[in-house]
Structure 1
Amino acid sequence: MSENQEKNRRCKSCDENMRISPEKLERLIEIATRERPLAPEEQYLQRIEHCRDCSGLQFGSTCRYCGCLVEVRTRLQDSTCPYPLAPRWE
């Protein structure tokens, strides 16, 4: 696959410069989950493991299919997996 084709497969607004520091990620998680119901810890751990094993994970933090931070999305009770063929978690 050419470099141009690979770029087209990525989230349009993401590139190598989009890496997020652990401190900033924690702050974003805090803000995003402040007033929303959280998934139980066991469910979160199962979800994040699926995301970490997914080919759609970019830069160790971002979902290629929806552009979200997987550490946030997997913590929210009402979230679903955006994998296009079949969700990897509910």
Structure 2
Amino acid sequence: MKRIGAVVFTGFQSVDMAAASCFEIGNFKVPAHACEIHVVSEAGGAVKSSMGTATHTIAFDPHTYEPIQWLHPFARSPPGLVHAQRPDRA
């Protein structure tokens, strides 16, 4: 089973979470779940969206996830491990 990390940053837009539903629907179409979806952030814990609601996340570990789904690609992310792992920053 693949583990997919949906990475969010402070100020992400809630509509960006809709991208994760593609994997959720895919899991309904196969007999055994093909992937696990985790919402992750640099430090883990609550991350506030642009409308002020918080989403619970787990801390990002680059060795845990195969594909990474970057939510809100235009968000200003803090420097650090997640920032360095972004494909558009490489």
TM-score (norm 2): 0.23
TM-score (norm 1): 0.23
Please identify which structure carries the higher strand content.
2
Structure of greater relative contact order (alpha carbons < 8 Å, 6+ residues apart): 2
Question: Larger C-alpha radius of gyration, 1 or 2?
Answer: 1
